[in-house]
Amino acid sequence: MKQYKPLERDTVRIGIIGACGGRMNFSHLPNLQANSKATFRAFCDLNVDRAKEIAKECNYQVDYYTNDADELMRDPECDLLVAGLPHEVHESIILKACEAGKDLFIEKPMTLSTESCKRIVEAVRESGIRLLIGHNRRFAPIFIDAKNFYNTYMRGPKTVLTYRVADPLPYLMSKDMPEGGRIFGEHCHFFDFFSWFLESEPKSVYTAGDYSNHVITIKYEDGTVASIISSAMGGMGYPKELFECFANYQSIIVEGNMCLTHAGACGQTTVTNYPLFCDPYPDIPEDLAGYRLRMKKYAKDQFEGKFKVFSHPSGYKGHYEELDECINAILEGRRFSADEVDGGRAIVCCDAAVQSMLAGVPVEINQALYK
């Protein structure tokens, strides 16, 4: 395994690829700006003029701008690349970073096929770069606390997990989308999260339903059975996401990425509310009842056209922490705590889910595709 040297500075110089992207501007750029250990080396985007406007509007201090990603790859003063690009070009950027020897954070999914997945895993290993895929849930404080409850009080061979995601966004589900539809584009999060939470490998995947509405069942080596329940028919007035864990006669529930409940043995119950990342209604109390009230109010306001940009009430999902992990690993001279193997595992599971849906039978997971 490659050994990494600590950086001989106290800040990491970051090159942004896709500086005008939506996710980049909604969370990644503000999070990096807020991190005292990060500085912007360069903004790269096909629309250089807009990238300059964004930097001026947000008071980002950037050394230079370019529309050529290869310029960042060649820049010896750039310590880390952060990329937010269309899913179908992820493989090419990762391979370019491998050739250039540049550490890279790139948004999920790692890629869109198992063949591409295998190429990426091999290239990253041969190059020795550090790669982190943006599977943010494993970095979110609420889910880290949930895992700590599980490890302390509940871990065992008869665990059942479920992750429900439902909202009225059918256009995200289409199998024809270049972004890979919802299974590749979003469920990669939950496949990664389950393996991280359980510290176990998936054995098989079975999908019942269609691209828009389905239930995916995953069996794990430790005996756990997990499910992803996904629907395009959810109501906007109710929280989109719900995670549940049942084991050792106890329960863990995470609703809306902001409320964690641990129902322990003998009736002890712990409820913890976490601050919201995006809150258009700061006058409403920050508890579970208040969150549900926000969702109802948001649905009405959205329907009436009040919001022109994304402003969904949202809990923290680990976007700050995943980038902070990259920065700390570079400063400390160690590997990233989530890597190409984790990204590859999620893609192999996504591919198996689609295969199973089309064939109507369970699909075995081939770990050789990502290990």
Burial environment of residue 179 by CB neighbours within 10 A (0 to 12, 13 to 18, 19 or more) = middle
Residues 198 and 309 in one domain: yes
pLDDT in tens, the chain (371 residues): 688 999 999 999 999 999 999 889 989 999 999 999 999 999 999 999 999 999 999 999 999 999 999 999 999 999 999 999 999 999 999 999 999 999 999 999 999 999 999 999 999 999 999 999 999 999 999 999 999 999 999 998 899 999 999 987 655 555 555 566 889 999 999 999 999 999 999 999 999 999 889 999 999 999 999 999 999 888 878 888 999 999 999 999 999 899 999 999 888 899 999 998 888 898 998 888 898 898 888 888 877 877 655 667 888 899 999 999 999 999 999 999 999 999 999 999 999 999 999 999 999 999 999 99
Distance CA 72, CA 97 (A): 10
Distance CA 327, CA 152 (A): 29
Give the predicted TM-score (pTM) of the model: 0.94
Residues 106 and 238 in one domain: no
Q: Which residues of 25-56 are buried (b: 16+ CB within 10 A; e: fewer)?
A: bbbbbebbeebebbbbbbbbbeebeebbebbe
- In this predicted model, what pLDDT tens digit does every residue of 60-80 receive, in sequence order? 999 999 999 999 999 999 999
Residues 238 and 294 in one domain: yes
Q: Which helix (H) or strand (E) holds 132?
A: strand 131-133
Q: Specify the pLDDT at position 180.
A: 67
Q: Specify the pLDDT at position 302.
A: 79
Distance CA 232, CA 215 (A): 12
Distance CA 115, CA 113 (A): 5
Structure tokens at 271: 């409820």
Q: Among all chains, which residue has been given the structure tokens 């902070």?
A: 324
Q: Specify the pLDDT at position 367.
A: 96
- Say if residue 362 is preceded by a cis peptide, omega within 30 of 0: no
Q: Estimate to the nearest angstrom the gap between the alpha carbon of 343 and the chain centroid.
A: 10
Residue 341 lies in a domain: no
Distance CA 23, CA 21 (A): 6
Residues 21 and 123 in one domain: yes
Residues 164 and 247 in one domain: yes
Residues 249 and 207 in one domain: yes
Distance CA 186, CA 177 (A): 13
- In this predicted model, what pLDDT tens digit does every residue of 158-196 receive, in sequence order? 999 999 999 876 555 555 555 668 899 999 999 999 999
Residues 125 and 23 in one domain: yes
Instruction: Provide the CATH number for the domain around residue 30.
Output: 3.40.50.720
Distance CA 134, CA 23 (A): 11
Would you list the DSSP string of 204-250?
A: EEEEEE-SSSEEEEEEETTS-EEEEEEES---TTS-SEEEEEEETTE
Residue 3 lies in a domain: no
**Smallest Cα–Cα separation from 193: which of 151, 152, 162?**
162
As beta bridge partners, residue 270 has: 262
How many domains does the structure of the chain reveal? 2
Residues 240 and 292 in one domain: yes
Q: Specify the pLDDT at position 49.
A: 98
Residues 123 and 200 in one domain: no
Residues 42 and 177 in one domain: no
Host domain of residue 288: 145-319+351-357
Q: Specify the pLDDT at position 29.
A: 98
Distance CA 252, CA 95 (A): 39
Q: Estimate to the nearest angstrom the gap between the alpha carbon of 314 and the chain centroid.
A: 14
Residues 225 and 276 in one domain: yes
- Whole-Å CA distances, 319 to 74, 140, 277, 337: 27, 8, 10, 15
Q: Among all chains, which residue has been given the structure tokens 């942004």?
A: 16
Please name the amino acid found at residue 260: L
Q: Which of 96, 113, 137 is the last residue of a domain?
A: 137
What is the distance between the terminal CA atoms of the chain, rounded to a whole angstrom? Answer: 14
Residue 328 lies in a domain: no
